[in-house]
């Protein structure tokens, strides 16, 4: 095809070129010999990957955490390390993040409190603490003994060494007294409430072995309780049961919990027990056992499942 302009015959290709320059027209991709290159499963430069740290439990418990990770993966490379300062699980998760091209890692503990030997031991394994907590040896032996195929003592000792790798790592606090966590606990209480002015809410957490750390747990729980008070309950209480402490400490905690339930009933109040746990899978059963023979209501779930845990992760990663 040709065209005539001022007596000259111009080929159609040249006509198209002139038209494109004048109008900004871009030909379809099929006219291009080069297609755009897509990067699959690669993080952008200077990207930070998220390392979720979780205790781990039965398949349903782990699956609830994986739902959180999957949602985060829509925006950010995210991996999960289950276990109590399990070095091998942490190392594998960091390696997976490295393979995705992240340039740094932020560790996010899905734990109730930062005042925990699991947290301090994990800080050491991540290179964020100079001295290993004495409890790390015990945790490493526990992880080693629970392995599917335990090997020699050398492998167990490796569990007390900081992880390998070149990626910069930082770690944010656990749930502690974050406002989002307080809002979730408030909703757990409201979900089983019928007449708030005639009900007493009792937050119950696992708690640490150490008495000084337990005081810090309770201080955080007092702040969380402030998020529940505006709902109009007669009162909001909080305590820990310290399941892993000495038998005498456990017995004292059981007596205290039963007293709180009995006192509420004697005052004409309905006790609403809200277990402050990430997900149901054991602790709530222990609470039921401690309260055998008493009348109370218990929340239908822990912090999970709840989409606000994803929001919490995003908030603490950004420093909020």
Give the separation between CA 241 and CA 228, rounded to whole angstroms: 20
First and final CA of the chain: distance in angstroms? Answer: 66
Share of the chain above pLDDT 90, in %: 74
User: Nearest Cα to 284, choosing from 293, 275, 294?
Assistant: 275
Condensed to tens digits (0 to 9), the pLDDT of residues 225-237 reads 999 999 999 999 9
Bigger pLDDT: 176 or 39? 176
* pLDDT > 50? residue 198: yes
Instruction: Tell how strand 235-240 and strand 199-205 pair up.
Output: parallel
Bigger pLDDT: 165 or 300? 300
Condensed to tens digits (0 to 9), the pLDDT of residues 90-142 reads 999 999 999 999 999 999 999 999 999 999 999 999 999 999 888 787 787 77
Three-class SS state of 228: helix
Indicate the range of 3-7, 225-229, 305-309 predicted with least confidence. 3-7
The full set of domain ranges for the chain reads: 2-31, 48-175+309-317, 179-298
For all residues of the chain together, what is the average pLDDT?
86
Domain 48-175+309-317: assigned CATH number: 3.40.50
pTM for this predicted structure: 0.81
Alpha-helical regions (H) of the chain: 12-23, 59-73, 87-99, 117-125, 135-145, 153-158, 179-191, 211-228, 247-266, 283-290, 308-317
Alpha-helical regions (H) of 232-282: 247-266
Torsion region of 291: left, alpha or beta (phi above 0 gives left; psi -120 to 50 gives alpha):
alpha
pLDDT-derived band at 160, boundaries 50, 70, 90: confident
The reply to whether 179-298 shares the fold of 48-175+309-317 is yes
Asked: is 179-298 a CATH 3.40.50 domain? The reply is: yes
Bigger pLDDT: 25 or 192? 192
Cβ proximity of 170 and 206 under 8 Å: no
């Amino acid at each position: 095809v040709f065209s005539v302009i001022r007596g000259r015959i111009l080929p159609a290709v040249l006509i198209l070129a002139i038209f494109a320059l004048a109008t900004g027209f871009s030909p379809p991709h099929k006219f291009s010999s080069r297609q755009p290159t897509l990067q699959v499963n690669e993080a952008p430069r200077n990207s930070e990957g998220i390392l979720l740290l979780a205790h781990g439990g039965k398949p349903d418990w782990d699956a609830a955490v994986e739902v959180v990770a999957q949602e985060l993966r829509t925006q950010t490379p995210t991996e999960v390390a289950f276990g109590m300062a399990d070095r091998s699980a942490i190392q594998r998760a960091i390696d997976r993040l490295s393979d995705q091209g992240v340039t740094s890692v932020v560790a996010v503990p899905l734990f109730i409190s930062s005042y925990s030997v699991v947290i301090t031991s994990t800080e050491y394994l991540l290179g964020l603490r100079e001295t290993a907590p004495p409890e790390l040896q015990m945790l490493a032996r526990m992880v080693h003994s629970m392995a599917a195929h335990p090997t020699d003592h050398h492998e167990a000792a490796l569990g007390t060494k900081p992880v390998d790798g070149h990626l910069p790592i930082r770690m944010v606090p656990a749930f502690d007294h974050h406002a989002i966590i307080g809002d979730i606990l408030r909703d757990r209480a409201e979900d089983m409430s019928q007449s708030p002015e005639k009900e007493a809410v009792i937050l119950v957490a696992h708690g640490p072995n150490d008495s000084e750390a337990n005081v810090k747990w309770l201080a955080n729980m007092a702040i969380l309780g402030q998020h529940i008070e505006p709902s109009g309950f007669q009162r909001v209480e909080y305590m820990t049961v310290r399941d892993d402490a000495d038998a005498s400490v456990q017995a004292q905690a059981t007596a205290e919990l039963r007293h709180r339930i009995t006192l509420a009933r004697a005052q004409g109040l309905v006790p609403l027990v809200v277990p402050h746990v990430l997900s149901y899978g054991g602790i709530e059963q222990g609470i039921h056992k401690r309260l055998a023979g008493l009348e109370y209501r218990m929340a239908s779930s822990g912090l999970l499942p709840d989409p606000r845990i994803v929001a919490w992760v995003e908030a603490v990663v950004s420093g909020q």
